[in-house]
Amino acid sequence: MKNYFTKKALIISIMTVFPISLLAKTEGKKVKIFTSSANEKQMLVEQPEVVFQQDLVIDFGKSGIGYNFCRTHINACDFSIDEYTYVEDGDVELKTFNIDRERKYNIPMSRAALKVNPNLWLFASPWSPPAWMKDNKRVVRGGRLLDEYYPTWAKYFSFYLKEFKKEGIDFFAVTIQNEPKAVQGWESCIWTGKEEGIFATNFLRHNFTAAAVAWNMMVDSKTGGPFHNTPAGGSSAPVWVDADKKEFILEPLFYTDGHFSKFIKRGAVRIGNSVYNDAVKVAAFSNPDGEIVVVVLNTTNKDAMPKLRLNNCTAEFKMPAKSLQTLIIPAN
């Protein structure tokens, strides 16, 4: 089958099948389609609608792509301009805890984002505890949190959340660590799954949350930063900003994210689907209002003509080579 689709021309007949109970009436429904292609000739461009026919047998603004879930950092991260923490060395009682550094940069940025989108959900992650709490006595190059500082580090989280709340910024969640198995030249700390469980259950007492998150949202177009302890040019982000010219560039990643974030609404659920060709990848979601969002990836170098099948009805659509498409099926 794979060889057939590789060698034969443009006939890729893919059926995506959904449970019959999702929509009572499908025939005649119009499907909106948005496309991005690998050659960047089309980036989230709306295509002509297709219509279901009976078988013979989804912002940072109203015109944006719907980003509403963002992370910030506790202490410095690799994209900070230098290393910093919120306490003086050895302050186990955290009497010197102070987030004035964040009041200069992070808090104004967070407030600006919340002003544009009040429905923004924020959460926070640390890249490293202060050096004096770790066995390697450094915030960089991994190391682990010493057992005797588990209570102090948990209290540190609490202070962070309380201080940000005073500034009008609430977090719906925190994570224990950014990339807990990565030893980096910038801020990092090693945690095993068992250690994270002990820390969360006995000290932090927060529910464990697993959210995949892109980092960063924006970077400088000249350097890919700001950052420290890492070479220039190795970063990626949806938006590149030229502060001097007051211009920005929307990278392909922005449009790739948009195929999901613009159309899949908060409260949506993943729904099952079947795909009859491994060359086409599909993820489908049902929005709270009953609208169905289908994201389709054509991994081949050939244009394709997939077929979307729902409730014994089929809609055929065009799909360019190496492209990503979002299909919107309206609710009843």
pLDDT at position 9 is 27
Region 84-111: mean pLDDT is: 95
In the chain, the N- to C-terminal Cα span, in Å, equals 36
pLDDT at position 15 is 45
Instruction: Indicate the helix (H) or strand (E) that contains 194.
Output: helix 193-199
**2-58+267-329 and 69-213, same CATH topology:** no
- Whether 233 and 40 have beta carbons less than 8 Å apart is answered as no
Kindly provide the b/e burial profile for residues 195-212, where b requires at least 16 CB atoms within 10 angstroms of the residue's own CB. bbeebbeebbeeeeeeee
pTM over 0.75? The answer is no
Identify the architecture of domain 69-213 in CATH. Answer: Alpha-Beta Barrel (3.20)
pLDDT at position 39 is 86
Q: Answer whether residue 155 shows pLDDT above 90.
A: yes
Output 75 or 25, whichever has higher pLDDT: 75
- Choose from 132-141, 212-221, 232-241 the range with maximum mean pLDDT: 132-141
pLDDT at position 234 is 62
Range in 19-23, 96-100, 122-126, 267-271 with the lowest mean pLDDT: 19-23
From residue 53, alpha-carbon distances to 29, 47, 158, 294, 310 in Å are 8, 18, 56, 18, 10
Would you kindly state where each structural domain of the chain is located, as residue ranges? 2-58+267-329, 69-213
Q: What tens digit of pLDDT does each residue of 23-32 get?
A: 456 778 889 9
* Assigned token pair, 257: 């994210």
> Residue 16, Cβ neighbours under 10 Å: how many?
21
CATH topology for the 2-58+267-329 domain: Immunoglobulin-like (2.60.40)
pLDDT at position 1 is 33
Give the separation between CA 238 and CA 82, rounded to whole angstroms.
23
